[in-house]
Amino acid sequence: MYDSNPTLEGLKTIDEAKQGNVLFKEHWQESSVPGEKKFYIESYGCQMNFSDSEIVASILSDVGYSPTRNMEDSDLILINTCSIREKAEETVRKRLRVFDVLKKQRPGLVVGILGCMAERLKKKWLEEEKLVDLVVGPDAYRDLPNLIGSAEDGHRMVNVLLSREETYADISPVRLETNGITAFISIMRGCDNMCSFCVVPFTRGRERSRDPFSVLAEATNLFENGYREVMLLGQNVDSYKWDNPETGQHVDFADLLELVAQVHPSLRVRFSTSHPKDMSDKVLYTMARHHNICKYIHLPVQSGNSRVLDMMNRTYDRPWCEQRIEAIRRILPEATVSSDIITGFCTETEEEHQDTLSIVEWANFSMAYMFYYSERPGTLAARKYADDIPEDVKKRRLNEVIRLQTAISLRHNQADIGKTFEVLIEGNSRKSDADFCGRNTQNKVLVFPKKPGLKPGDYVQVTVKDATSATLLGEIEA
Ligand code: 5AD
Ligand code: SF4
């Protein structure tokens, strides 16, 4: 077994964390202070991008900008982009055309591109097509106030420098679009893996971990402001590492998880994303020790075939992956596992595709994000391999995986009928104000009729009465 109850040298109590330099800013309120400037931001892609938009909102609020949901009303329009798949780029291009119409009507309006597409498309969109005034990469957000100032003077501005140090640790995110109950906390940035299909190491740079003091301070502040769940975010959380420069103390992901779990037993802790090559038993035992660390692991396997995994440069093979899922089943029998799958990667044969179907069946994922391979410029795969699987074959294989996973998700959910779960109420269900929705520790969404006296942020016991492949339908226990 591993040591429990770690403390952070230099931080004796959680109270000290509260005195850290991270101050909580109340989630956004539309302000109508005359003369104050407004920004409108749209975010695409992964949770990390949404979390980054909250850092941007904080930096902008320090220089007098407040958020608006109405782009017609704004002085600054920002689009936080994703470039993980080609489709994401097409979406951004369409949005830029819409903003361009607005820009022509309102010459003072500044339009900027943030995030992963910044580096690759800066020349095209800024210089050639003149669609935007600003292009700012994920490590340059502190420079935004300067860049906006120059853009207002009519200059086109770019900062896409990547950093080895920037973690925005001292910046307290302004929570955008929040339900007031669940929040993201970025614990690291960038990625040092070189999965051959993936553009992230190029767009987000080298991996760096945020200091645990600031993570704890942010979690504590969120709890004190009524939040009841934090999601720790990183491209590969299992490789989180931080060495205290003063004491030499080493903090790994399991230690960080335990520290955050100790903020309060009523604060749920989730995390994403885990990597099969790095997910350790120490993390699993830490999860087992704490009721408030949710029993759910997002573990992208990508493929079920060892040769394809090798070409993807995932640095694990199928038996390794199975052995990691078996460790989860052994140490955390109640946990659910979800995954990411890519179909039609370069040279994938029909037989190898069958291996993906068979690992999906074997693993019994509660759900999965499924994609067909789309070649990204600059990646290892784009340089080394021909994108040789015809699009109709990629899509047919994807549909086969989706069909199988949908059936498995339904089976998984139907097995919960009759069980009672502790559910954190997050708000009204999307379909009806008469129902609440929330999730159980396994990250399954439950919808159930409201009862008087209960509110978002409360924990309730809900018994499952029915299930679809996406949702459990239940009733609160008397
Ligand atoms: N093509 C298809 N899917 C991809 N992903 C990442 N890059 C690509 C690509 N080039 C998927 C992976 C990853 C998820 C976030 O997106 O499954 O885990
Ligand atoms: Fe991309 Fe692989 Fe890093 Fe995930 S672990 S962000 S798939 S390079």
**Domain of residue 366, CATH code:** 3.30.750.200
Cβ-based burial of 90 (10 A; exposed 0-12, middle 13-18, buried ≥19): exposed
Q: Residues 49, 114: one domain?
A: yes
CA count, 13 A, side-chain hemisphere, 316: 20
Distance CA 316, CA 242 (A): 25
> Residue 34: pLDDT above 60?
no
Counting from 1 in the atom list of ligand 1, the atom nearest the Cα of 84 is: 7
Q: Residues 318, 438: one domain?
A: no
Residue 285 belongs to domain with CATH number:
3.30.750.210
> Residue 12: pLDDT above 70?
no
Q: Residues 368, 404: one domain?
A: yes
Average pLDDT for 151-160: 90
Residue 173 counted as domain residue: no
Q: Residues 186, 262: one domain?
A: yes
Does residue 202 line the site of ligand 1, with CB under 6 A? Answer: no
Residue 304 counted as domain residue: no
Using pLDDT thresholds of 50, 70 and 90, give the confidence band for residue 27.
Answer: very low
pLDDT score recorded for residue 125: 77
> Residue 17: pLDDT above 70?
no
Return all residues near 2 (Cβ < 8 A) that are at least 6 apart: 254, 282, 285, 286
Q: Residues 404, 446: one domain?
A: no
Residue 131 belongs to domain with CATH number:
3.40.50.12160
Task: Give per-residue burial for 92-103: e unless 16+ CB within 10 Å, then b.
Answer: beebbeebeeeb
Counting from 1 in the atom list of ligand 1, the atom nearest the Cα of 379 is: 10
Total count of domains within the chain = 4
Q: Residues 263, 353: one domain?
A: no
Residue 137 counted as domain residue: yes
- Tell how far the Cα of 275 is from the centroid of ligand 2, in angstroms: 9
- Tell how far the Cα of 323 is from the centroid of ligand 2, in angstroms: 21
Residue of the CA atom closest to atom 5 of ligand 2: 193
Domain boundary among 109, 132, 159: 159
Write out pLDDT tens, residues 350-397. 999 999 999 999 999 999 999 999 999 999 999 999 999 999 999 999
pLDDT score recorded for residue 122: 80
Residue 427 counted as domain residue: yes
Residue 378 counted as domain residue: yes
Does residue 260 line the site of ligand 2, with CB under 6 A? Answer: no
Return all residues near 149 (Cβ < 8 A) that are at least 6 apart: none
Flag the least confident range among 109-123, 285-299, 416-430, 444-458: 109-123
Distance CA 305, CA 301 (A): 10
Residue 20 counted as domain residue: no
- The number of the ligand nearest the C-alpha atom of 371 reads 1
Residue 428 belongs to domain with CATH number:
2.40.50.140
> Residue 22: pLDDT above 50?
no
Distance CA 439, CA 294 (A): 10
- Tell how far the Cα of 300 is from the centroid of ligand 2, in angstroms: 10
> Residue 129: pLDDT above 90?
no
Write out pLDDT tens, residues 173-208. 999 988 999 999 999 999 999 999 999 999 999 999
Ligand 1 probe mutation, 200, 233, 341, 342, most atoms within 8 A of CB: 342
- Tell how far the Cα of 82 is from the centroid of ligand 1, in angstroms: 11
CA count, 13 A, side-chain hemisphere, 187: 33
Does residue 344 line the site of ligand 1, with CB under 6 A? Answer: no
Using pLDDT thresholds of 50, 70 and 90, give the confidence band for residue 4.
Answer: low
Distance CA 23, CA 44 (A): 27
Q: Considering the chain, what is the average pLDDT of its residues?
A: 91
Q: Residues 48, 148: one domain?
A: yes
Residue 165 counted as domain residue: no
Locate 324 and state its tokens: 């990691």
- The number of the ligand nearest the C-alpha atom of 197 reads 1
Bond from prior residue into 273 cis (ω within 30 degrees of 0): yes
Cβ-based burial of 191 (10 A; exposed 0-12, middle 13-18, buried ≥19): buried
Flag the least confident range among 73-87, 204-218, 243-257, 412-426: 73-87
Locate 54 and state its tokens: 């909250």
State which amino acid sits at residue 390.
P
Provide the residue range defining the domain that includes 468.
420-476
Average pLDDT for 99-110: 90
Does residue 235 line the site of ligand 2, with CB under 6 A? Answer: yes
Using pLDDT thresholds of 50, 70 and 90, give the confidence band for residue 300.
Answer: very high
> Residue 33: pLDDT above 60?
no
Domain boundary among 371, 396, 415: 415
Q: Residues 133, 227: one domain?
A: no
Q: Residues 33, 152: one domain?
A: yes
Pairing of strands 37-43, 110-115: unpaired
CB atoms within 10 A of CB 388: 11
Identify any residues that bridge with 232 across adjacent strands, giving them in sequence order: 185, 271
Return all residues near 202 (Cβ < 8 A) that are at least 6 apart: 119, 378, 379
Q: Residues 279, 184: one domain?
A: yes
Q: Residues 212, 271: one domain?
A: yes
- Tell how far the Cα of 191 is from the centroid of ligand 2, in angstroms: 6
pLDDT score recorded for residue 204: 93
> Residue 21: pLDDT above 60?
no
- Tell how far the Cα of 404 is from the centroid of ligand 1, in angstroms: 19
Counting from 1 in the atom list of ligand 2, the atom nearest the Cα of 198 is: 1
Domain boundary among 400, 415, 430: 415
Residue among 118, 124, 120, 142 nearest 134 (CA): 118
pLDDT score recorded for residue 473: 98
- Tell how far the Cα of 285 is from the centroid of ligand 2, in angstroms: 25
Q: Residues 364, 343: one domain?
A: yes
Return all residues near 304 (Cβ < 8 A) that are at least 6 apart: 318, 355, 356, 357, 358, 359, 360
Residue 36 counted as domain residue: yes
Write out pLDDT tens, residues 430-478. 999 999 999 999 999 999 999 999 999 999 999 999 999 999 999 999 7
